[in-house]
Amino acid sequence: MLPHNNIKKIVIVGGGTAGWMAAAALSKLLNHPDMDIRLVESETIGTVGVGEATIPHIRLFNNLLGIEEDEFVRKTNATFKLGIEFSDWDKIGRSYIHPFGKYGVDMEGLRFHHHWLRHQTLGDNHSIDDYNLQIMAARAGKFQRPKNVQNSPLSGIEYAYQFDATLYAKFMRQLSEKSGVTRTEGKVIDVKQNAETGFIESITLESEETIDGEFFIDCSGFRGLLIEQTLKTGYDDWSDVLPCNRAVTVASEKISEPIPYTKATAKKAGWQWRIPLQSRTGNGHVYCGDFISDEEALNILMAGLDSKPISDPKFLRFKTGVRKNVWNKNVVALGLSAGFMEPLESTSIHMIQTSIARLMTQFPDKAFNQVDIDYFNRRTLLEYKQIRDFLILHYCVTERHDSDFWNYCRNMTIPESLQQRIDIYKHNARLYRHDNELFGALSWFAVMHGQGIKPKSYHPNVNIMPSDELDRRMSDIRKTWINCLNTMPSHQEFIDQNCKTS
């Protein structure tokens, strides 16, 4: 028997990606006969139906749940992802890849990019891309999982997935139900709060069924049924620095072998994604409705497809920002009900994952210790702000003058935290990872460099290595990387041999 003060009744409201990820993780980690986990969802309301590109950390989540990768890829119609290609962001006609894996080899305790910057001043004209196996493989349409080969970049391959969001939620649902989660179909029409504390005591469905709980996870999507509509928690609006507020999506036919990366192409008032799955391509145009109409946005999306559309276009509206408190009383918001930042770096599903991990660390008992709740809220807000800064970087460092939208982005006031990073990088290419943030020096470098920032100098200590030694090492790295690339199968071959969707 669990002690009296332990939480035993958890109610998850919402069965989208957030709801089912929470259900799968909680049922695995809180596995006890006294534990009752219920999930309520409404097929009539449905899910947002997007969220197809991920980052490598999702593999940790899958490992925790004991998911077998090939089966997962097969059942979610997934492909593999080595990074994101950004086109036309700093200038029309230029593109770069933000890869998941390392550039070159850090030498003498200094990051590789400092050595590369010095080597450029000595006359080397190889692009930084020639020193990154992920970028080389992405451009060549190749993929393989990391191989345990010492001192080889093949051992450091980092990857994520591009999958069908609906199939992913279904996969999570199957796992959850196997581990004892009870699903109830129905629309929540009433929420009862304790008259004194304001804590939520129960929800009532259209069927008149009442479900009571001790702890509620709000995964109800943008509407924030518990966290906002009931508890009126409030929302910090970040549209001034991330002005896109709408999206239109459409699926299109698969035309060729799927590429092992996501494409994000900047447009007149936003950007368009292309996410290749095994059997179709996901497309969407994220834009700012203050600068273009829905009709123009749809035309831009359709003109940017590389194959025939196979679904009706779907419009979505959002407000970038985060709930003032993601955990309020006995409600924790996960997914879209917690906050939203555009999917430019595929971070939303990741934030669901980290919030679940944080929740497990701070898991309450019936006393709901406010100190733990405050800590959870502070850490969550910090994570949102760190990711927000990284996203803004793509917009504010641009030479585009071709539309009012880009003129706005170039001139907007950006957070001091981001300005400082840009200033430091511009001076001597130094980059720091703060507070264990998601994006480390590799990512900051990829985007700073990709957006066209040219640092005045680099770390002075790279000058200690004799230049002929640097030459030799850089050439060795390039040769090794090419040799490794040559051993890799194509992305399609890899899928066919291991995890082809039936």
Ligand X SMILES: Cc1cc2nc3c(=O)[nH]c(=O)nc-3n(C[C@H](O)[C@H](O)[C@H](O)COP(=O)(O)OP(=O)(O)OC[C@H]3O[C@@H](n4cnc5c(N)ncnc54)[C@H](O)[C@@H]3O)c2cc1C
- Which residue numbers are catalytic? 81
Nearest CA to 88 among 406, 478, 469?
406
CB 200 within 8 A of CB 192: yes
Intra-chain end-to-end CA distance of the chain, in Å: 45
Partners of 267 in beta bridges: 270
User: Which x/- pattern, by CB under 6 A, does the window 303-322 give for ligand X?
Assistant: -------------x-x----
Establish if 332 lies at the interface with ligand X (CB under 6 A): no
Smaller CB separation from ligand X, 53 or 65: 53
Compare residues 133 and 447 and give the one whose CB is closer to ligand X.
Answer: 447
Q: Tokens standing for 93?
A: 């006609």
Burial category of 120 from C-beta neighbours within 10 Å (exposed 0-12, middle 13-18, buried 19 and up): middle
Q: Which stretch binds ligand X (CB under 6 A): 194-202, 217-225, 263-271, 389-397?
A: 217-225
Site string for ligand X, 244-283 (x = CB under 6 A): ---x------------------------------------
> Which residue has 């957030």 as its token pair?
18
Options 99, 101, 284, 339; binder of ligand X; rule CB under 6 A: 284
DSSP category for residue 244: -
Site for ligand X in 334-363 (CB under 6 A): 335-337, 343, 346, 348-349
Q: Which of 11, 12, 17, 252 binds ligand X (CB under 6 A)?
A: 17
Read off the tokens for 197. 């504390």
The least distance separating ligand X from the CB of residue 249, rounded to whole angstroms, comes to 6
The strand pair at 83-87 and 200-205 is best described as unpaired
How far is the C-alpha of 339 from the C-alpha of 184, rounded, in Å? 25
Nearest to 241 by CA among 400, 447, 420, 414: 414
**How far, in Å, CA of 38 to CA of 18, rounded?**
14
* Residue type at 251 in one-letter notation: A
Pairing type for strands 321-323 and 339-340 reads antiparallel
Backbone angles phi, psi at 263, to 5 degrees: -110, 140
Report, in Å, the least distance between residue 270 CB and ligand X: 11
- Measured from the CB atom, the residue of 40 and 231 that comes closer to ligand X is 40
Q: Which two tokens stand for residue 117?
A: 């910057």
Return the residues of window 431-490 that contact ligand X according to CB under 6 A.
none
Ranges within 176-205 binding ligand X (CB under 6 A): 187-188
Question: For ligand X, how many residues bind (rule: CB under 6 A)?
Answer: 38
Whichever of 144 and 220 has its CB closer to ligand X, that residue is 220
Q: What residue type is 421 in one-letter code?
A: R
Q: Among residues 177 and 372, whose Cβ is nearest to ligand X?
A: 177
Tokens found for residue 355: 């919030």
Here's the x/- map for ligand X, 32-61, by CB under 6 A: it reads as --------xxx--xxxx-xxxxx-------
- Contact flags string 115-154 toward ligand X, x per CB under 6 A: ----------------------------------------
CB of 415 to ligand X, least distance (A): 22
Query: Is residue 160 a contact residue for ligand X (CB under 6 A)?
Result: no
**Least distance (Å) between residue 82 CB and ligand X:** 15
Number of Cβ atoms within 10 Å of the Cβ of 1: 8
Min CB(347)–ligand X separation in Å? 6
Choose between 224 and 455: whose C-beta lies nearer to ligand X: 224
- CB 55 within 8 Å of CB 345: yes
The letter for the amino acid at 356 is I
Where does this chain bind ligand X (CB under 6 A)?
Answer: 13-19, 40-42, 45-48, 50-54, 165, 187-188, 219-221, 223, 225, 247, 284, 316, 318, 335-337, 343, 346, 348-349
